[in-house]
Structure 1
């Protein structure tokens, strides 16, 4: 049914807000009877509605057909190393209500998830007239695209194979999607810059991760580990620092916020204000230059149009400047001549990215068709 089904028609309607029946007939090539049958199914399911009249056409005003997205929300559970950011958003990722709370993501998964789910329950209860479309969970670890499970993650011992989606779905019987936090961050940054491609986004805070968006599609990699740049080995020196992954010489062991605090004798925690502690430090400038040299290799591989630096450390002007200088010094001029390297301006890009993933999944043509047939 792909290409002619109600789900496919809904995807087309969602692509813009000013469709009329005549325009849909011209765009789809469907017969009048078939189009009206498809629309009728979508109307009965509450997925589309008439939204007033189109502009003057010289005859009887044509009714606009729009996606019925009002009141449909996404719950986003964004877990960082030491912080949980819980948000209720609309389908475009605009925050309606949110809360931030301290947590230790290395703790038992049942306890950590119960804490953020309780916060999510409170936020959802504060709304009125809303329908929960799905839940997006962003995690600081690799998520397998084949199984949807978290793969072994250095900062999340004990989470490997834990049924996160099933645990969350036991609270809310809606689709639950998992994604790596840095990749969700990248998808949100791409939404802030439509048409920018390829876009490489870096989340630089306690850890270091990245995501690549190409023509609107997020690169997950063969087994869900794309973007794990913190564990690129940048030194073979015998005295190189030991990384939390157990190896020596990883980028994260030199440059992550976690590593920089540990070298100061500070135990990283949810109370860290990384920007306040590290912004003026020479250690952070050195770390930013090392990050820039590492990113230069990625620039040579994917030739991005834009690099967006986010996270508590990544968006600092001094970090952006050092990364910019290091990338341009290490990569060829023809790769960097038109390259933008900018600080993130998005408040919560991972929430925007997770909302996009959830909405794309819930309203995918096959999912809509299955719901209508059920």
Structure 2
């Protein structure tokens, strides 16, 4: 296992400049008036706004002053809300020269540990609740191994990352994996990329080790959630992670499509030919067997290609052999994506992963889809590379755990326990 520290400066392949900009907090859709608000509903209401006074909360909730103030006191004590500055004139003050305190969602010092696991690399991050990466390590490690040993190494590196912070409180751990996840239980499904993890209690292991809430999500769906957070919750986003493997996620109106068995977006194992290369799933002719990064590395091995980075560099240099192989793989991927676009009719098709972000790949997929899909299904379609670079899944995973920890029902349970 090779560990590489990544500093967050302006020379980090152009990604840091984007990731360093604070992402907007997840906006919770709530009515303008919130009668009989619970503790959790109050937090969500305050969280969805830049700051509110007590008077504004009284007007919005219709609660009695006594009840509201008692609930706010409990939220102060549990660290969900804090007072921060005074409201501008005319926004809830109680007289000339006197202004009301603004109440805000308390995210001070709250951090999330994100374990973004890929087939050959892991990205381990400590983030703020808004998805900003505070500290990060990239680790070269093959996930096709025994889960206990793999997680022990990952946990040790992550512990050093968490311990490096000062005056921070870890609120949760979010894990992304390159395989199917049951949406109801969080249990890993049968996976060709990590078969030795099947039935292993990953979430239980995380909770036992870190003693905080935890979530698990497919890496492509996490990437889709992250991209959706900056594109806009009102848009339908199809996000494709094209790297060692191929996966996709669909987010509609802020909600990710998981599917009945947690396999939504597993486009890599769509058969596109009756024969062809043997896939990791044991069948022949799957998209991944023809077009994945793993397939390209195997095909180009005689040219000295050993890693995805080699492919990216050689495409940038205009190597004709590598460019031809990537063009052929992109054409096969485009045919499958054309079908998904026709079915989902997204506003945005976002391409991520080491191969998906290559400008040549983006432009060819864009052209192919506009040729293969009817104008009605692509009239408003925007096709482009990932807005967050390599950090999309990290942002999406942060969003998953923050939504879990600050779910109104979870807050009510924590206060009433």
- Native 8 Å contact 2:293 2:308 kept in 1: no
Match of 2:55 among 6, 22, 25: 22
2:270 corresponds to 1:232? yes
Matched with 1:359 is: 402
2:118 corresponds to 1:80? yes
Matched with 2:41 is: 8
1:372 Cα deviation after fit: 0.5
Matched with 1:258 is: 294
Q: How many residues align?
A: 372
Give me the whole-angstrom Cα distance separating, in 2, the residues matched to 1:270 and 1:169: 34
Q: 1:39-78 maps to which residues of 2 (within 5 A)?
A: 39-57=72-90, 59=95, 60-78=98-116
Give me the whole-angstrom Cα distance separating, in 2, the residues matched to 1:160 and 1:49: 43
Specify the SS of the correspondent of 1:19. Answer: coil
- Native 8 Å contact 2:244 2:308 kept in 1: no
User: Could you say if the C-alpha distance between residues 249 and 146 of structure 1 is closer, same or farther in structure 2, counting changes exceeding 3 Å?
Assistant: same
1:2 Cα deviation after fit: 10
Give me the whole-angstrom Cα distance separating, in 2, the residues matched to 1:52 and 1:196: 32
Matched with 1:106 is: 144
- Native 8 Å contact 1:165 1:177 kept in 2: yes
Specify the SS of the correspondent of 2:197. Answer: coil
Matched with 2:335 is: 293
Q: 1:304-319 maps to which residues of 2 (within 5 A)?
A: 304-319=346-361
- Native 8 Å contact 2:297 2:306 kept in 1: no
Specify the SS of the correspondent of 1:170. Answer: helix
1:155 Cα deviation after fit: 0.6
User: Could you say if the C-alpha distance between residues 3 and 297 of structure 1 is closer, same or farther in structure 2, counting changes exceeding 3 Å?
Assistant: farther
User: Could you say if the C-alpha distance between residues 341 and 250 of structure 1 is closer, same or farther in structure 2, counting changes exceeding 3 Å?
Assistant: same
Match of 2:381 among 331, 334, 339: 339
TM-score, length basis structure 1: 0.95
1:146 Cα deviation after fit: 1.9
- Native 8 Å contact 2:297 2:308 kept in 1: no
Matched with 2:28 is: none
Deviations 1:175-215 (A, max 9, x none): 11100001111111111212451011000001000111111
2:249 corresponds to 1:249? no
Matched with 2:13 is: none
Matched with 2:363 is: 321
Specify the SS of the correspondent of 1:158. Answer: helix
User: Could you say if the C-alpha distance between residues 80 and 2 of structure 1 is closer, same or farther in structure 2, counting changes exceeding 3 Å?
Assistant: farther
- Native 8 Å contact 1:69 1:91 kept in 2: yes
Specify the SS of the correspondent of 1:153. Answer: coil
In structure 2, stretches of 5+ residues that fail to align are: 1-33
- Native 8 Å contact 1:82 1:270 kept in 2: no
Matched with 1:212 is: 250
Residues 303-312 or 265-274, more deviating:
265-274
Specify the SS of the correspondent of 1:112. Answer: helix
